[in-house]
Amino acid sequence: MPDYVILLSIPGLRKQDLPHMPRLTQLTAEGDCGELVASFPAVTCPVQANMTTGAPPSEHGVIANGSYDRETHKVEMWTETNACIACPQLWDIMQKHHPELTSAVWFPLHSKECGADFVCTPAPIHNPDGSESLWCYTRPESLYGDFLEQLGHFPLQHFWGPAANIKSTAWIVDSAVVAAERFRPNLFYLYLPHLDYAAQKFGPDSDEARQALGAIDGEIGKLVDGCAAAYGEHRPLWLIASEYVITAVDHVCYPNRVLREAELLAVREESVRELLDFEASRAWALADHQLSHVFVRDRDAATIDEVAKRFANEPGIAEVLRREELDRYDLSHDHCGDLILVSTPNSWQAYYWWFDDTRAPEYARTVDIHRKPGYDPVEMYWDPQTKGIPLDATLVKGSHGAPATDPSQRGILLSSERGVFVERPLADTDVADIVLRQFGI
């Protein structure tokens, strides 16, 4: 068994991408390669929780990249932390069975609640003009200052919005190498986000997406070389998991506009702007890539039936799931909406509820991922000349989140050594068990 495991979580990675990634191909040439199927919903927070707990959303409770509190009528987007994961994660299980084993977690969606020994959570604040204010939580706390001194720049620049590029992944790699040299953790879990950007903005098979493969492959090469020097003769086992696959889209659905037309969604005016009124709405949709959780006031059965019928034949919607149907996807949890709208592979769902762009809320034209009640990839199209985001959701060319029913929606799991796992279709929930087996757990 290896003493050290490095798990890379890379959204958007596909088997057909490997010929464009010589360093990754070299790293895994003598290892296993299996199809990896992301559970539904195939979006960042749930899939990362699946991979690190080995449990589905019905057990760990992370059902989207956002959540809605029915009592306070508060929406949280991209702010959930390890504290909301109701199952033990890899590092928790390792500490229970083998307290002498150490772990490091290097990705921006988790925070100080994480039970790993070493943690780096760069958390950029995205300003309305597309710039970023930078902050970073580290364990030990002194690491933050060490990174600034050794790397010479602030953490995780250009992580999201119009300026998103390889620099964010490069900082994650550079800081991880520093930590590997200093701590040599037995488990190192790293999130490398770069393939997310071009595939959504230009399409997964665009020239820009192919260029992104070369850029991230260069960073993977730096990481491999840096860890080889850090671990020396103790060669780590590498596991590379694609969180999900991005598919080309040519259609967008606006569930909140549909609900408003049906007089189910309510808005309130504020300085001639229309804001979604969660408390007054009989139904509204928290849109997240290729799905939406529809929350119905008081879980009224007649309203649920009305919404289900309204979306049954809506273009771009493949399934309308009632709560009693969620067991099919291991998704039955109280955090879920009363209905879940699932996109066809070629479509995605935008959060917009206004019909007149002059009445859109001010944050609609800004990079404001935490205030918007839904995911907004149009933030990548921020226009420096107009100093705003064009309210045109048809600009988006790639998305993910729908069930991986077609091989084109499935990713890969790679290892640097042979015999680590059986080369068959694997679920994201299988990743945790594969990692733990390496430590005899």
Q: What is the pLDDT of residue 155?
A: 57
Query: What integer pLDDT is reported at residue 78 of this predicted model?
Result: 64
Can you read off the two tokens belonging to residue 6? 């490095």
pLDDT score of 388: 87
Taking CA atoms, 46 is separated from 4, 55, 209, 435, in Å, by 26, 10, 24, 18
DSSP three-state, residue 88: coil
- Look at residue 346 in the predicted model and tell me its pLDDT: 97
Predicted pLDDT at 102: 97
Q: Which CATH architecture has domain 5-247+404-438?
A: 3-Layer(aba) Sandwich (3.40)
Domain segments of the chain as ranges: 5-247+404-438, 251-399
User: If we measure between CA atoms, which residue out of 316, 323, 333 comes closest to residue 399?
Assistant: 316
How high is the mean pLDDT of the chain?
A: 91
Q: 352 with 327: CB under 8 angstroms?
A: no
Distance of CA 42 to the CA centre of its chain: 8
| CATH number of the structural domain 251-399 | 3.30.1360.110
Low-confidence residues of the chain: pLDDT under 50: 126
Indicate whether this model's pTM tops 0.75.
yes
Burial 373-390 (b: 16+ CB within 10 A, else e): bbbbbbbbbbeeeeebbe
Which pLDDT value is given to residue 79? 61
Q: Indicate the DSSP class of residue 388.
A: B
Q: What is the pLDDT of residue 147?
A: 80
